[in-house]
Amino acid sequence: MFRRLFTRPTKRVKPAGCKFVEAMEPRQMLAAAPIITNVIADNRGEVQITASRFLRNVNKNSVRFFTAGADGVIGTADDIRKTDGVSVSFNASNNRLTVRGNTDPNATYRIRLESSLITAGDGKRLDGEFTGTFPTGNGTQGGNFNFVARRDRSSTPRARMTTTEGVIVLSVRRDVTPSHASNFLDYANSGRFDNTFFTRSENNPQPFVIQGGSLQITGDGQEASDIVATTRFDPVPDENDLPGALSNTIGTLSFAKSGPDTATNQLFINLADNSFLDSPLRGDGGFTVFAQITSGLSVAQAINQLPVANLQPQIGTAAGSTNTSVGNVPVRDQSQAEAALNPLRDLPYIRRVAGVMKLGALA
């Protein structure tokens, strides 16, 4: 049986408005040494560092990635500098530096940007002193940017779902639905959400849900045969996380099911008030909300606005999942996708899902 949601509502929901941040006046920034304005670090070692200006000499020599050494404590003399499996890149269009590190999920790590090596285009060195808040610096060029990333052990950790259409940030409700939240985080930590796509979009006559997570793009991603199933039935969330503790309202996430005790890694994002899904008296046992979108709802809404295609003839159940329907898949171009599917070209997909780490200062 396909994992589907059933009755649809009729109430229209007005999409949330976009918020814009006014850019800093460029002449101001050119007069100052480059500083770091923001960092997002995830629990699998990927870090995005935003600078105030274009930076030169950004590489693995000037951007250094460390994990704890034998003493198990980060920031001591035996920290291990990682180079294998570490990549560093800089995007001049948004002054964003991306580090992809080599670390186990939830392991503590630190990064240091060497101000003696990193400069702006005019030669001014990084002003990187970090005391725990942004922006960095003491007003004088020449300070290293040094920080530690630690696991968020709170009851409502954040997670980032990075899609080809933008980033969705989630508050994972471990405080209310601990089993479902842990199931989601376990899948994220294992990488089984990486390169998965949205297999279902319902937006007729109004927004309802987008659903995905169980089919993954592999290989070179150019053929329908590059799609495989990632679903395993180990373990299912504890049904003691009863539906209704949090309601299936707009911007919440639940796991799809075909009946009680069948939730795995196929999830859906509510794009309307779908509180009718809360009831445990439903034949499927009801749907338990485990996370809420805190930013990026417009990304999910944009995916829901895309045209849909029937990819059953090309994918069918050959991908190994008899529980995923692909008759209503959001795509960029319906006729193109249905003629000859090229997954990376045609599908909006999830590049990565990972927890967000807490940042701290280091001397």
Using DSSP's 3-state secondary structure scheme, residue 304 falls into: helix
Q: pLDDT (tens digit, 9 = 90+) per residue, 167-179?
A: 999 999 999 999 9
How far apart (Å, rounded) are the C-alpha atoms in residues 105 and 297? 26
> According to the model, what pLDDT value does residue 102 have?
84
> According to the model, what pLDDT value does residue 177 have?
93
Residue 181 contacts residue 174 (beta carbons within 8 Å): yes
> According to the model, what pLDDT value does residue 363 have?
67
The Cβ of residue 340 has, within 10 Å, a number of other Cβ atoms equal to 12
Q: How many CA atoms lie within 13 A of 12 on its CB side?
A: 5
> According to the model, what pLDDT value does residue 259 have?
75
Q: What Rg do the C-alpha atoms of the chain give, in angstroms?
A: 22
CA quadruple 322, 328, 330, 334: dihedral positive or negative? positive
> According to the model, what pLDDT value does residue 236 have?
63
Instruction: Report the DSSP beta bridge partners of residue 350.
Output: 163, 196
> According to the model, what pLDDT value does residue 13 have?
44
**To which residue do tokens 């007729």 refer?**
204
In the chain the domains, ranked by start, together with CATH numbers, are 26-151 (2.60.40.1220), 158-355 (2.40.100.10)
> According to the model, what pLDDT value does residue 321 have?
58
pTM of structure: 0.88
Start-to-end CA distance of the chain, whole Å, equals 57
Q: pLDDT (tens digit, 9 = 90+) per residue, 313-331?
A: 999 765 555 578 899 999 9
How far apart (Å, rounded) are the C-alpha atoms in residues 210 and 308? 11
Per-residue pLDDT of the chain (363 residues; tens, 9 = 90+): 445 554 454 444 444 444 434 444 444 445 699 999 999 999 999 999 999 999 999 999 999 999 999 999 999 999 999 999 999 999 999 999 999 998 999 999 999 999 999 999 999 999 999 999 999 999 999 999 999 999 999 999 999 999 999 999 999 999 999 999 999 999 999 999 999 999 999 998 999 999 999 999 999 999 999 999 887 655 666 666 778 899 999 999 999 987 777 778 899 999 999 999 999 888 888 999 999 999 999 999 999 999 999 999 999 765 555 578 899 999 999 999 999 999 999 999 999 999 999 999 986
> According to the model, what pLDDT value does residue 26 have?
44
Q: pLDDT (tens digit, 9 = 90+) per residue, 245-262?
A: 999 999 999 999 877 777
